[in-house]
Amino acid sequence: MNVLVTGGTGNTGERVVRHLIADGHQVRFLSRKNADNEIVSALIKDGAEHAQGACGDPAFQRAAEGCDALIAVAHIRHADQCIGACRAAGIRRYIQISSTRRFTKFPCESSRLVIAGEDAIVRSDLDYTILRPTMIHGGRNDGNVSRVQQWFRKRSWFPIIGDGSNLVQPIHSDDVVQAIILSLNNSETIRNSYNIAGAHPITQREFLERIAASVGRRPRLLRVPQRLALIAAALLPRETRERVRRSTEDKAFPNDESFLKMGFSPRAFLQPTPSGS
């Protein structure tokens, strides 16, 4: 296929581009002007074609011409632009990365954008597949686990809101790529949506303990009452306040059985270090 990838220089998008090239596809990736030039150059060297621009730009429309499929790793808030580019270019196959944030019990601007994007895709006449990953980790800088690892490299303690018993189920970026490639190669995924997550849920406390162990730390978790954390976050940016509101919410989602039967096999989150090692 000729495949267009949005968000192709991001942590997961870069891996998608490389995997598609390895599978023999002709790949074109879209990136903004401020994209990492080293990644852009490396992908071009590997055989991908580069198109510079943002979703909705005329450059995006031109990049879609001649393509058979669009894989949108960029945020689902651009769904309307992706649908428009597909229709203009005659692309039928459309795979969109979404988020399990749509299921939060604390609606916020981010979750509303996710829901609106998914609704637009479902209303379209395209052969879509929507993939909803949980927290993505792994890679050069995932912005999630790597940030906590950096913290533990400097300190042995970490603040935890609540008692840490809420569940999380992070997914590795390579497993997100696995899900994308599986969807592209399997017509059963057309006009379907799937939650994708790591192999097993773990508690927030265990999540932090495993991250600390990965950098050789035994963590001291300092409990902060959520009410106190909300008061402290009142003057912080909206995104931070929303994160505090969701901090004790369960974020574990079982993988769809039908998707597992197609061959999806995600790994467990960072395996715990054996006692005493």
CATH code, domain carrying 182: 3.40.50.720
Pair (14, 126) in one structural domain: yes
Pair (75, 186) in one structural domain: yes
Q: What distances in angstroms separate CA 147 from CA 138, 142, 153, 171, 244, one per listed residue?
A: 11, 8, 10, 16, 17
DSSP class of residue 10 equals: S
Q: Is the confidence at residue 277, as pLDDT, over 60?
A: no
pLDDT tens digits for range 125-161: 999 999 999 999 997 778 789 999 999 999 999 999 9
Pairwise CA distance, residues 31 & 8, whole Å: 6
At 56 the pLDDT is 81
Residue 272 lies in a domain: no
Return the closest-CA partner of residue 22 out of 3, 50, 41. 3
At 233 the pLDDT is 85
Pair (187, 164) in one structural domain: no
Residue 274 lies in a domain: no
Residue 111 lies in a domain: yes
Q: Does residue 91 contact residue 64 with C-beta atoms inside 8 Å?
A: yes
Pairwise CA distance, residues 125 & 122, whole Å: 8
pLDDT tens digits for range 174-199: 999 999 999 999 999 999 999 999 99
Q: Which residues of 95-129 are buried (b: 16+ CB within 10 A; e: fewer)?
A: bbbbbbbbebeeebebbebbbebbeebeebebbbb
Q: Give the other-Cβ count within 10 Å of 46's Cβ.
A: 12
At 273 the pLDDT is 44
pLDDT tens digits for range 212-234: 999 999 999 999 998 999 898 88
At 274 the pLDDT is 44
Pair (190, 208) in one structural domain: no
At 276 the pLDDT is 37
The pLDDT mean for the chain works out to 93
Phi and psi at residue 62, to the nearest 5°: -65, -40
At 126 the pLDDT is 98
In which domain, by residue range, is 158 found?
Answer: 145-168+200-252
Q: What confidence tier does 45 reach under pLDDT thresholds 50, 70, 90? A: very high
Give the bridge partners for 72, in sequence order.
6, 96
Pairwise CA distance, residues 222 & 84, whole Å: 49
Q: Is the confidence at residue 120, as pLDDT, over 90?
A: yes
